[in-house]
Amino acid sequence: HILGFTMSNIPRQFQDPVHIRPGEFFPSAPLAKRFIPRGIPGVALFGALTATILGSHLYYFGVIQRRLKKEEEVRTIRQTFVPILQAEEDFKFLQARKAQIEEEEKYAANIPGWVVGGTTYNTRWMAPAKNPEGTWP
């Protein structure tokens, strides 16, 4: 005997390979097809993923639309104040220009030919020089 087994307690089909008939290697075992839970099906996962992506897209699209609408309202409100702010800045500029002309009048009273408030350049406008050879930096 081998490893405590005698040839008498081993079934005949396993004793000698010569006596094994085709298809009789192992005795038939009772197999039952049982339902084994494997989790969520792939179609359900794909559907949930698609719904999540589309829902998030629609949510953020709505957020963007609300933000743009709010920005447009703010822009409209600001645009209504532009003429008032421009008038204030014009008034400040005119006050500063008037003070500048008065100061210039005071300092240039003794200079002959000086025009108060006029330009300091006595030339006509000229176009900027061109760089013909590409040598200037």
- Tell whether the torsion through CA atoms of 111, 115, 119 and 122 is positive or negative: negative
- What are the backbone dihedrals phi and psi of residue 123, each rounded to the nearest 5 degrees, phi first? -125, 165
Rounded to 5°, the CA angle 80-81-87 comes to 125
| pTM for the whole structure | 0.41
Whether the CB-CB separation of 35 and 28 falls below 8 Å is answered with no
pLDDT of residue 13: 57
pLDDT of residue 25: 60
Beta-bridge partners for 2: 5
pLDDT of residue 9: 63
pLDDT in tens, 94-136: 999 999 999 999 998 898 888 888 877 777 877 877 777 777 6
Return the residue matching tokens 């008065």. 102
Secondary structure (3-state) at 2: strand
pLDDT in tens, 17-56: 555 566 556 555 666 667 677 778 889 999 999 999 999 9
Residues in the chain: 137
